[in-house]
Amino acid sequence: MGNRKIGFIGLGLIGGSIAKAVRRYFPDYEILAFDKNRETLALAVQEGTIHTACSSIDDNFRGCDYIFLCAPVSYNTAYLSQLKNMIDQDCILTDVGSVKTSIHEEVIALGMEENFIGGHPMAGSEKSGFVNSKAHLIENAYYILTPSAKVSDEKVEKYRNFVEALKALPVILDYREHDRITGTISHLPHIIASVLVNFVHDTDTEDELMKALAAGGFKDITRIASSSPVMWQQICLKNRDNISRILGNYIDALGRAKSLIDSGSEEGLYTMFEESKDYRDSMPNSSAGPIKKQFALYCDIIDEAGGIATIATILASSGISIKNIGIIHNREFEEGVLRIEFYDESSSVKAAALLRKYRYIVYEI
């Protein structure tokens, strides 16, 4: 393919991870970046991720094969207008935002459709910033592409192949369909989790018994409520119409569940739980979706001094890093006394095999 030139505007967790993936798989490509944080740019140059650190969106961005908009959504529209007269007809302009309609509408208004293909890598981390970026962050993650109406098939195929070469899984969608889908499977669950956590907080006893007795199951389904408040505020504002409609439909579904309970409908309640169980069980056990999968296992241990330390030592001696570890006091919905969480799937699988080798009883989730 020859030497290529790729520009990044914003070099946080996602932008940094894509840049590192490009550096890994295409070491000959020239990479340049602009970020408001000069320390980030200095670190990216020092680590060898990028060649050129730009103090503004300047002429360095001319002649780029790809330009990735990885800044907060509120900034990207301003950057679009700055890039309009810098990019040539062969350049592919893309973004990484989780809401697509707003940026597509801006692209249409600016007459930049022939260059723009929206992008949404369905990957992330609880930690933000370039310092936490990793070349493998988008590996085996769905990467949604939302081509503009006037972009050529050749550009779409070129970008699809590029995403595949970075080891991600490209999926092509209409941008409006993308926002409807992510509104249901990503944005709605975050809202539900936040409202549920606040509901428990507001209805808890004075001595916070609900908080103290909350089972691991409650923590699992509300885990995503710990996500960035600023990011989710912006997502709700940018995808407002879709989320409002989806929330209304969900509230109706809750109403139907309430009616089944109010009427004591044995058959209706059984069907509701059976259908949800069957559909949930049919979902692939993969982390490629928009909500990051947890990698955890449960393990039976005897309540004795040094029990947890022994397990931690066994795992550490094999180079397995533990993200979190703790005793589960409410075990209504979990088997096993000890819950161990890992950073990735391979660590979880290796840990389960290792602990079984040492005669521990392990339950994988």
* Topology of domain 5-173, CATH: Rossmann fold (3.40.50)
**In a 10 Å sphere around its CB, with 0-12 CB exposed, 13-18 middle and 19+ buried, how is residue 80 labelled?**
buried
Q: What pLDDT score does 289 carry?
A: 60
Residue 330 confidence class, pLDDT cut points 50, 70, 90: very low
Q: What pLDDT score does 331 carry?
A: 46
Q: What pLDDT score does 112 carry?
A: 96
Residue 13, pLDDT > 80, answer yes
Residue 226 confidence class, pLDDT cut points 50, 70, 90: confident
pLDDT tens, position by position, 146-190:
999 999 999 999 999 999 999 999 999 999 999 999 999 889 998
Q: What pLDDT score does 218 carry?
A: 79
Q: Can you tell me the distance from the alpha carbon of 191 to that of 363, in angstroms, rounded to the nearest whole number? A: 30
Residue 336, pLDDT > 60, answer no
Q: Can you tell me the distance from the alpha carbon of 223 to that of 206, in angstroms, rounded to the nearest whole number? A: 24
CATH class of 188-281: mainly alpha
CATH class of 295-364: alpha beta
Rounded to two decimals, the pTM is: 0.76
Mean pLDDT, the chain, whole residue set: 88
pLDDT tens, position by position, 275-320:
998 888 887 665 556 556 678 888 877 666 678 888 889 998 899 9
| Residues 328-338, mean pLDDT to the nearest whole number | 55
Percent share of the chain, pLDDT over 90 = 56
Q: What pLDDT score does 332 carry?
A: 43
Q: Does the CA dihedral 74-78-79-80 come out positive or negative?
A: positive
| Residues 132-140, mean pLDDT to the nearest whole number | 87
Could you state, in order of their start, the residue ranges of all structural domains in the chain? Answer: 5-173, 188-281, 295-364
- 5 CB contacts (<8 Å, ≥6 apart)? 29, 30, 32, 63, 64, 65
